Amino acid sequence: MSEDRREKRISPREQKRKKRKRRKIALVIELLVLVVLCGVLFVYSKLGKINYRDTGKAATNDLDDDAVKKLKGYTTIALLGVDSRDMESDKGSRSDSIMVAVLDNDKKKIRLMSVYRDSYLDIDGKGTFKKCNVAYARGGAKGAIEMLNRNIDLDIQDYVSVNWKALADAIDAVGGLTVDVSEAEAKSMGPEDYHNTIYDTSLTVGRKTQNWVKPGKQKLDGVQCVAYCRIRHNGVGEDFGRAGRQREILSLLVDKIKKGGMSKLNKVMDVVLPEISTSLSMSEIVTFAKAGMEYDIDATTGFPKYKRGADFAGSVVVPCTLEKNVILAHKFLYNDDDYKMSNTLKAINNKIINKSGFTEKDAVDLGDAKYDTGNVGDLTTEDNENSSSGGK
């Protein structure tokens, strides 16, 4: 019997039932599309609060082919913390916090490296050597990115910049963080000390809190956590301890957001996004946000690792030598044991040696290794022998 004849035998009632079924399927599909569209609009309405800034192509050193190939296996972003309340402008304020975040997309791991803000580096590519945090004040986020690329042989093109208020708000949004505060840190944060970082931070952030903390493990609110990040006196590691505490708080915050799931992330987004400036597009942020819930912070360290303090250009931190420290940085960030320094970095390295008079043997232990986490690594004897730094 033909197909047409069988079709004619279907009763009118059966035909109506099939039509209703098709309408139900169409309605379900329409509802699913509507839900997806609402979700997209919801995300983009939140991301629309961010201050987007296209910094353009950031300059990099003339890296060899192997280095370029190695860097492509990772996503590298500059994380910049500034003392400005106005995130619509990215010039005029020095960067209190400078971090390089490297995402290993295969292993789902993140490595954080703080660049000490007082590091004596080439800040503009024109032979101006100062504290590296001056680069942000003079050239904004792009100036800071190019400073990192120039002095560490990196290829960073994107950044995320936040102010202290953003960090305090994010921490309050997740209900505070549990931090183990030493006796010296507690003293420096409270009214007993001249610097009284809690009070000073409350003025900066524009929010009051308890003006003291006790030594030991305890829950701190946003203002107190930011104050903890900012202290640098009373034998608590100076700028090195400060950078270590910043990495500690960021790690604790990320971990708490991940454990809280999308509800915690949603709260953080609501309060923090207006206080963020970034070159990342909306689609890139959505991608990173999804990935970020799967990634773990594998290890953190500071740069330069081998260094000493000096006063010939203000109170600065001199890498001993820059070459030795950059070799270690590439080993830490990218697991690169075969990194070869660019000619630009060789020239910067030699200028720092000539200006400071410091070589590898002048490096001193400033006590910041205790802030390293995970498998940070170190230079081997062979690495040191291969170093080509000049002498005094």
Residue 97, pLDDT score: 87
Inform me whether the pLDDT recorded for 5 exceeds 70: no
Question: Strand 276-278 to strand 158-163: parallel, antiparallel, or no bridges (unpaired)?
Answer: antiparallel
**pLDDT band for position 203 (cuts 50, 70, 90):** confident
Contact 80, 160 (CB under 8 A): yes
Choice between 25 and 53, residue whose per-residue pLDDT is larger: 53
The answer to whether 243 and 302 are in contact (CB under 8 A) is yes
Q: How confident is the model at residue 307 (pLDDT cuts 50, 70, 90)?
A: very high
C-alpha 368/C-alpha 258 separation (Å) is: 28
CA distance 256 to 251: 9
Q: Is the pLDDT of residue 372 over 60?
A: yes
State how far the Cα of 151 lies from the Cα of 125, in Å rounded to an integer. Answer: 9
Handedness of CA 219, 233, 320, 71 (dihedral sign): positive
Between 171 and 35, the more confident residue is: 171
CA–CA distance, 192 with 190 (Å, rounded to integer): 6
Q: What is the pLDDT of residue 386?
A: 41
Q: Please write the tens of the pLDDT for every residue from 13-47.
A: 676 666 666 665 666 655 555 554 444 445 555 66
R_g of the chain, CA atoms, integer Å: 26
In the chain, beta strands by DSSP E: 51-52, 74-82, 95-104, 109-115, 120-122, 129-131, 158-163, 177-181, 216-220, 276-278, 296-303, 307-310, 316-319
Q: What is the pLDDT of residue 346?
A: 96
What are the start-end ranges of the E strands in 136-269?
A: 158-163, 177-181, 216-220
Q: Show the CA angle centred on residue 95, arms to residues 285 and 51, nearest 5°.
A: 35
Residue type, 268: V
Residue with tokens 């961010």: 50
Mean pLDDT of 204-224: 91
Least confident of 63-67, 218-222, 388-392: 388-392
DSSP 106: T
Q: What pLDDT, in 10s, does the model give residues 116-161?
A: 999 999 999 999 999 999 999 899 899 999 999 999 999 999 998 8
The pLDDT tens digits of the residues spanning 308-345 come to 999 988 889 999 999 999 999 999 999 998 899 999 99
Q: What is the pLDDT of residue 296?
A: 83
Looking at residue 190, what is its pLDDT? 85
Distances (CA, A) of 11 to 3, 4, 7, 258: 15, 14, 9, 57
**How confident is the model over 269-297, as a mean pLDDT?**
78
Six-digit token pair at 175? 């209900």
pLDDT at 115 exceeding the cut of 50: yes
Residue type, position 280, single letter? L
Select the highest-mean-pLDDT range: 25-34, 173-182, 233-242: 173-182
Classify domain 51-166+239-386 by CATH number.
Answer: 3.40.630.190
